[in-house]
Structure formats: C-alpha cells, structure tokens
A and B are shown apart, each in its own frame.
Chain A
Amino acid sequence: GESVGLHLPTLSVQEGDNSIINCAYSNSASDYFIWYKQESGKGPQFIIDIRSNMDKRQGQRVTVLLNKTVKHLSLQIAATQPGDSAVYFCAEWGSGSARQLTFGSGTQLTVLP
C-alpha cells in the first residue's frame, strides 16, 4: 500500500549547525504534507506544511522542500538548538474524502553541545 518513509532513523548535529531531515513518500496523488515535532511524552506539534503546488516554504528557522519528481520531502532547521532535540515526523495528507494523515516512522534528532 501507499506509505511515507524516512531515510534515516537518527541524526546528531552540533548546536548551531543546520539540520536536514529527509522523507520519501510513495503516493503521487498526495497534495499536502506536514512536518511534526514530537518531544518525549508529548503529542506531535505542527511545525510547517506545504502543498503540492509549491516547491519550498519557509518558516521561522525551518524550511520545507518538496521534490515531486522523486517524491521527496525535506525539513531544514537553521542554527539547530538544544530545544530542537525531538523526533520529527513527516506526514502525508491523503487524497479523497477520507483526508487522513499517514505518518512516517520518524527521525530522532539529537543536538550535541
């Protein structure tokens, strides 16, 4: 079936460096993608989203890039801070009337001092 998956399960970066978290999706009909951040013991927190008619969207310190040709999504975090340590999930917004989110398995980001 259709799925959303991540390239790497863990990522460690030095504080102040930029982080890039990647995600591959397989449903070419998906038209909306979201990145969520989940800290230990908490629910997913919305970070940024992007629609399929866009290639790039920027927020505060975060940028999402969408490459529809290869069905690839990435989240870039600038000047990574200790508070950015968490699991990051990409999620695909299903097409059709159901409109349910399909989550990837997550990437654990660890920020080193």
Chain B
Amino acid sequence: NAGVMQNPRHLVRRRGQEARLRCSPMKGHSHVYWYRQLPEEGLKFMVYLQKENIIDESGMPKERFSAEFPKEGPSILRIQQVVRGDSAAYFCAGRGTTDTQYFGPGTRLTVL
C-alpha cells in the first residue's frame, strides 16, 4: 500500500445519499483502477482510468456510479442515491509503466 492514499477510510451514508470516495495514487502513476470487495469475497474490477480518460468501465454499474481522474487532484468514485447493496469496501490501485498495481487501504462504505 506504499504511497496510495484513499479517503475517507470509513464512510456511513443513509439510503438515497451520495457517497464520494477519493484515491490518490503514488506520484507518477497515471493509471487508476477501482475495485469493490464484499465480505469474504475477492475484489471485483469496476473501472480503469488514465488521467482525464475512462479506459474501461465494464465492471461499473451504468446507473448511479461514475468515476473520474482529473488532470489535477485525486480520482473520485461517486455513488449517487446509495442503496444497502452498495455497502462494501472500495479499493483503488495505481499503476505506473509496469503491470504491477499498488493498492490503497480502501474505503469501507456502510449504507444504513
């Protein structure tokens, strides 16, 4: 997890609210991946971004979910009108020029 930051670490939302998760990859890493992990399961790919561009969003639900990675600032995963089924741990990973992805500590989202 060296250098990859995610915040908040824990986020509690009520149904219908918006959740905004932030990820700052290591310096110089321009590729960002978002994954979702349910309890006792593996990580599931959601979206792959490279500075200002969405490269692959095949794992992200078409409704309510969006992601961005602006030229300046962190990558943001946004979930609108959250439902209980959105409760999970969300991890981002950064990558530089090699294939190795370095993961952040995750954001644990709880929807009440």
Contacts and interface: CB of A to CB of B under 8 A. Distances in A.
Interface of A: 32, 34, 36, 42-46, 49, 89, 93, 97-106
B100 A43 contact: no
B25 interface: no
29 contacts: A43-B4, A43-B6, A43-B103, A44-B43, A44-B91, A44-B93, A44-B103, A45-B103, A46-B100, A46-B101, A46-B102, A89-B42, A89-B43, A97-B55, A98-B48, A98-B56, A99-B48, A100-B33, A100-B48, A100-B59, A101-B43, A101-B45, A101-B101, A103-B42, A105-B41, A105-B42, A106-B40, A106-B41, A106-B42
Contacts of A105: 40-42
In which size bucket is the chain B interface?
20 to 34
Contacts, number: 59
A32 B99 CA distance: 9
User: Shortest 7 CB-CB distances between A and B: which pairs?
Assistant: A103-B42, A43-B103, A103-B43, A98-B56, A100-B45, A44-B103, A105-B42
A43 B33 CA distance: 13
B84 interface: no
B112 to A, nearest CB: 20
B48 A42 contact: no
Contacts of A34: 100-101
B106 A42 contact: yes
B58 interface: yes
With most chain B CB atoms within 10 A of its CB, the pick from A43, A49, A93 is A43
A108 to B, nearest CB: 9
Contact of B55 (A32, A46, A98): A98
A49 B7 CA distance: 28
